[in-house]
C-alpha cells in the first residue's frame, strides 16, 4: 500500500498567525503548501511564497481557481471572516478555519448549513485544546480521576484594548470563544448565563465582565473575561474544573497543569489531614521548545485535522463547535445587554 499523496494546501493570511499556519503545512509531510494569499500586499505575499516554495496571490478566488486545492486555511482579522469563509465553502474546498466562525450568529448559521450542504470537511481552530496542560486535563477526565464535574472556572484577561470591533462586548465572541468551547467540550451544553460588566472608559464597550453559568447537567461555573489586562502580565489565564473525585487546573494555557485528588467526602477533617497528598504538577520543561511554544498548538491541531481528513474520520473540532461557542458568547452578551 502506497503512502497517500500530500494534500495540496493554500493559505489566505500573511500576518503573524498566518505564518503559524503556513509553517505548519510547510513542515507537515502529509501536505504540500502550494499557494499563499495576502489581502492587499502582493510584495509581502511574494516574500512568504519565496520563503516557503509556494505561489503568491492577493486574490482568493483566483488562487482557488488556479491551484486545484485539497484544503485551505483562512486567517483574516476576526471581524472579516464571513466573506472569505463563504467563498471557500461555496467553492467546495475542505476548510480549516480560525475562530471565531464569525461575529454574527446569522452569518455563522449560514456558513455551517452551507458547509454541510456542500459536504466538505470543515473545522475550527480552537487550538487551546491542543496545549499539553489541556491534553492532561482530558487524560485525567477520561481515566476517571476527576469524576462528575461540579464546578468550572474560566478567566482570560489578556490585552486586546482598544477593541478591534465597535460592538459592545465583542471580545466575548472572538477572544473568549476559546473559553466557551473549552467549557462546552468538557461540561456540555450551557443553558443559563447571568452576568455583570464594567465600562471603565465610558466607551460603551464593557471591556471587563464576570458571569455565572449553569450547564444542562446541573453543573455550575464562573467566567471572567476582559481585555483590560496585558499579555505580558503573569497569570492572565486560568481554567479549573472541580469534580467529585479531584480537581484539575491550568495556568496560562501552556505553562502549568495541576491535578489534586479530592479526599473521600465521608472522611472527617482529621482523617483527611492524615492522608498523603497525591497532587501532580506539570510544567513545560526548560528545553521543551515545542510545548512551550503557543503556536505549536496549531501545528498539533493541523496535523490531527489532516490525518483525520485523509483517514475519512470526523473533523477533530467540527464547524458546528464554532457556532456553539458563538451562541454561548451571544448568550453572555444578552445577559448584559438584553436585545
Report d(CA 217, CA 59) in Å as an integer.
47
> Could you tell me if 134 and 70 lie in one domain?
no
> Could you tell me if 168 and 305 lie in one domain?
no
Task: Tell me the β-bridge partners of 226.
Answer: 208
CATH code of the domain covering residue 48: 3.40.50.720
Q: What local confidence, expressed as pLDDT, does residue 287 receive? A: 77
Residue 114 lies in a domain: yes
CATH code of the domain covering residue 281: 3.30.360.10
> Could you tell me if 158 and 181 lie in one domain?
yes
Q: What local confidence, expressed as pLDDT, does residue 70 receive? A: 98
Q: What pTM was computed for the model?
A: 0.93
The low-confidence residues of the chain, meaning pLDDT below 70, are: 1-2, 164-165, 263-278
> Could you tell me if 122 and 250 lie in one domain?
no
* 300, 293 Cβ separation under 8 angstroms: no
Report d(CA 149, CA 271) in Å as an integer.
24
> Could you tell me if 215 and 271 lie in one domain?
yes
> Could you tell me if 119 and 19 lie in one domain?
yes
Residue 134 belongs to what domain range? 129-293+325-336
Residue 2 lies in a domain: no
DSSP β-ladder status, 237-243 and 246-251: antiparallel
> Could you tell me if 148 and 49 lie in one domain?
no
Q: What local confidence, expressed as pLDDT, does residue 127 receive? A: 98
> Could you tell me if 263 and 120 lie in one domain?
no
Residue 1 lies in a domain: no
Report d(CA 255, CA 22) in Å as an integer.
25
> Could you tell me if 164 and 202 lie in one domain?
yes
Report d(CA 31, CA 38) in Å as an integer.
20
Q: What local confidence, expressed as pLDDT, does residue 71 receive? A: 98
Q: What local confidence, expressed as pLDDT, does residue 3 receive? A: 73
Report d(CA 21, CA 47) in Å as an integer.
16
Residue 72 lies in a domain: yes
Q: For the chain, what is the HEC assignment? A: CCCCCCEEEEEECCCHHHHHHHHHHHHCCCEEEEEEECCCCHHHHHHHHHHHCCEEECCHHHHHHHHCCCEEEECCCHHHCHHHHHHHHHCCCEEEECCCCCCCHHHHHHHHHHHHHHCCCEEECCHHHHCHHHHHHHHHHHCCCCCCEEEEEEEECCCCCCCCCCCCCHHHCCCCHHHHHHHHHHHCCEEEEEEEEECCCCCCCCCEEEEEEEECCCCEEEEEEECCCCCCCCCCEEEEEEECCEEEEEECCCCEEEEEECCCCCCCHHHHHCCCCCCEEEECCCCCHHHHCCCHHHHHHHHHHHHHHHHCCCCCCEHHHHHHHHHHHHHHHHHHCCC
> Could you tell me if 71 and 165 lie in one domain?
no
Nearest to 173 by CA among 133, 131, 93, 227: 227
CA dihedral 44, 46, 51, 55 (to 10 degrees): 140
Q: What local confidence, expressed as pLDDT, does residue 87 receive? A: 98
Residue bearing cell 487524560:
139
Provide the 10 A C-beta neighbour count for residue 12: 26
Report d(CA 284, CA 293) in Å as an integer.
10
Q: What local confidence, expressed as pLDDT, does residue 126 receive? A: 98
> Could you tell me if 148 and 89 lie in one domain?
no
Report d(CA 95, CA 53) in Å as an integer.
21
> Could you tell me if 162 and 47 lie in one domain?
no
Q: What local confidence, expressed as pLDDT, does residue 284 receive? A: 84
What total of structural domains would you count in the chain?
2
Amino acid at each position: 500500500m502506497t503512502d497517500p499523496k500530500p494534500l495540496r494546501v493554500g493559505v489566505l493570511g500573511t500576518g503573524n498567525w498566518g505564518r503559524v499556519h503556513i509553517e505548519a503545512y510547510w513542515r507537515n509531510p502529509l501536505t504540500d503548501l502550494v499557494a499563499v494569499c495576502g489581502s492587499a500586499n502582493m510584495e509581502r505575499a511574494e516574500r512568504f511564497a519565496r520563503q516557503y516554495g509556494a505561489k503568491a496571490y492577493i486574490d482568493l478566488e483566483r488562487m482557488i481557481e488556479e491551484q486545484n486545492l485539497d484544503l485551505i486555511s483562512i486567517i483574516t482579522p476576526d471581524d472579516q471572516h464571513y466573506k472569505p469563509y463563504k467563498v471557500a465553502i461555496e467553492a467546495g474546498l475542505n476548510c480549516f478555519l480560525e475562530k471565531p466562525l464569525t461575529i454574527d450568529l446569522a452569518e455563522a448559521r449560514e456558513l455551517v448549513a452551507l458547509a454541510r450542504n456542500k459536504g466538505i470537511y470543515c473545522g475550527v481552530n480552537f487550538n487551546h485544546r491542543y496545549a499539553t496542560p489541556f491534553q492532561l486535563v482530558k487524560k485525567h477526565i477520561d481515566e476517571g480521576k476527576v469524576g462528575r464535574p461540579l464546578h468550572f472556572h474560566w478567566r482570560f484577561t489578556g490585552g486586546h484594548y482598544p477593541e478591534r470591533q465597535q460592538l459592545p462586548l465583542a471580545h466575548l465572541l472572538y477572544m473568549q470563544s476559546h473559553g466557551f468551547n473549552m467549557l462546552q467540550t468538557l461540561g456540555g451544553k450551557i443553558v443559563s448565563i447571568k452576568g455583570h460588566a464594567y465600562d471603565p472608559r465610558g466607551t460603551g464597550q464593557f471591556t471587563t465582565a464576570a458571569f455565572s453559568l449553569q450547564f444542562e447537567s446541573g453543573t455550575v461555573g464562573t467566567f471572567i473575561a476582559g481585555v483590560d489586562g496585558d499579555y505580558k502580565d503573569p497569570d492572565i489565564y486560568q481554567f479549573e474544573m472541580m469534580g467529585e473525585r479531584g480537581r484539575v487546573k491550568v495556568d496560562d494555557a501552556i505553562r502549568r497543569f495541576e491535578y489534586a485528588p479530592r479526599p473521600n467526602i465521608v472522611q472527617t477533617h482529621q482523617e483527611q489531614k492524615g492522608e498523603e497528598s497525591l497532587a501532580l504538577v506539570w510544567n513545560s520543561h526548560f528545553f521543551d521548545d515545542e510545548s512551550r511554544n503557543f503556536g505549536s498548538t496549531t501545528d498539533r491541531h493541523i496535523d490531527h485535522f489532516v490525518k483525520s481528513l485523509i483517514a475519512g474520520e470526523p473533523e477533530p473540532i467540527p464547524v458546528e463547535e464554532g457556532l456553539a461557542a458563538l451562541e454561548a458568547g451571544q448568550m453572555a452578551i444578552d445577559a448584559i445587554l438584553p436585545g
